[in-house]
Structure 1
């Protein structure tokens, strides 16, 4: 039997009272199961955290001693208990170490996706599929009007840009994916990386994910026109708004983050409308609960065929 209150949202975030734990809490919690290391899902200060090794390693890099009092490192597809809830982490394909969180309680399965993607990505574990009774899915781009283009076609656009490129991207997950894509599909480009991104790159390499040739940024290098691509985090990108002699691009699935009309780079690490429908087909839920976006399009699409509940 599906419990309508199996997870609820309170001031700390998504709470499972049947196991007394939070999923990606927004405020420090006694017990947290964390899907991945992006800061909007993995905050510091939790007492006890369950997550993958990559997620813990990145959190420890970012937060140092305040990352958590206790880390419980869990491998993919290795079940563990929190109270009477059986939990299994399933690869989510979003970034290194990202996990869907499968929760089983009294014979019913609830699958929390966290952030996830279906597109191929050589810098993280590919998504795996499990069936579930309730799919608790992010709905960031759950809109029939949103269909993400092929990332290979997108990255190949930069082959036609002969100036140096200032490329804005989130430092964790997106930057590493871009290094790999550029190295593979625009190999003549010389990749420079902001110093704050380099320690994250080192974690990827240590965990067996080869990114491709790159080096730390040097100011003298960018003064030479030699098809350099300088990957920088958003705060640095914004500070270079008046940069001359470069083409400014921001890699994102969001239209409002594209910074010029001539050149765009739509590369997203989230599922689009088509991918969410594919996920529903693969996981075969009886109910869909939506988070992190607008679930109304899914509710209208399925009408009475599948019950859709908007959690936020």
Structure 2
């Protein structure tokens, strides 16, 4: 029988009382299972942290001694137990080390997706389908009107830009995906990366995901018109809003983060509507619980077949 309160939001985050742990807690807690290393899912100073090796490395790089007290590293498909709940981490395809959290309690399987994508991405482990009784899915883009464009076609837009490009992207995950894609699809472009992006790239390389050619930014290079692509984190991108002599682009699945209607680079690391439907078809859940977005469209779509509960 499905337990309705296996996980729920309290004042600290998404809590599982049967294992006494949190999923991607936003405040320091005693026991934290972390799906991936983005800052809105992985904060520092937890006591016991359960995650993949790559997630641990990213947290150690970003937070240093404040990463957390004790890390318990789990490989994909390696089952472990917290309290009364058996847990298995499954590749989520969102970024390097990202994991879905498969929880088993009294023979019922609950799959927490974390952030995930189905689009091919050679910079990280691909998404893996798994059967579950309850699918707990992010619903960031869970809208029938949302369809992400082909990311390869988006990157090929850079081939038509004959000047230097300042490319805004999140430092972790998105930047490394862009480096790999630009090297694969527009190899004549010369890639420079911001100093905050470089150590994260090195973790990718160390974990067996080579990104191709790139080098640390230097001011002298960008003074020449040599078709450089300078990848910078959002705060740097925003601080150069009036930069001249470069084409400014921001890589995101959000339309409101694009520079303008003409200069867009719509590349998302989340599932769109059809991807979510594909996951539901493969997962075959009895129930769907939604979070991190609006689940009303899923509730309407499956009103006669699958029970949908919105956690947030």
TM-score if structure 1 supplies the norm length? 0.99
3-state SS of 1:111 partner: strand
Matches within 5 A, 1:109-124: 109-124=109-124
How many residue pairs get aligned? The number is 312
Following TM superposition, by how much is the alpha carbon of 1:261 offset from its aligned partner in structure 2, in angstroms?
Answer: 2.5
Corresponding residue number in structure 2 for 1:5: 5
Shift of 1:12: 1.0
Aligned to 2:168: 168
Residue in structure 1 matched with residue 69 of structure 2 by the alignment? 69
Unaligned runs of 5+ in 1: none
| Match in the other structure for 1:246 | 246
Post-superposition offset of 1:289:
0.2
Instruction: Report the alpha carbon displacement of residue 83 of structure 1 after superposing the two structures with TM.
Output: 1.1
Q: Secondary structure at the match of 2:119?
A: coil
1:98 aligns with 98
| 2: CA distance, partners of 1:190 / 1:234 | 20
Deviation at 1:11, TM superposition (A): 1.1
Q: Any conservation in 2 of the 1:198–1:216 contact (CA below 8 Å)?
A: yes
1:264 maps to what in 2? 264
Deviations 1:6-62 (A, max 9, x none): 101011110000010000001111000000000000000100000000000100000
- Specify the alignment match of 1:57 in structure 2: 57
1:195 aligns with 195
Partner of 2:230, secondary structure, is strand
Structure 2 residue aligned with 1:146: 146
In 1, Cα distance between equivalents of 2:262 and 2:142: 27
| Match in the other structure for 2:125 | 125
2:136 corresponds to 1:136: yes
TM-score by length of 2: 0.99
Aligned partners of 2:262, 2:93: CA distance in 1, in Å? 31
Distance in 1 (CA, whole Å) between partners of 2:249 and 2:145 is 23
Alpha-carbon distance in structure 1 between the residues aligned to 2:120 and 2:224: 34
Match of 1:278 in 2: 278
SS in 2 for 1:72: strand
Instruction: State the shift of 1:220 in Å.
Output: 1.1
Cα RMSD of the aligned pairs, angstroms, is 0.5
Q: How far apart, CA to CA, are the structure 1 residues paired with 2:40 and 2:180? A: 24
How far does residue 304 in structure 1 lie from its aligned partner after superposition?
2.3
For the residue of structure 1 that corresponds to 2:237, the secondary structure is helix
SS of aligned partner of 2:177? helix
Shift of 1:208: 0.5
Q: CA deviation at 1:278?
A: 0.3
> Aligned-pair distance for 1:85?
0.5
Q: Structure 1: how far apart are the matches of 2:306 and 2:69?
A: 41
- 8 A contact 1:248–1:260 mirrored in 2: no
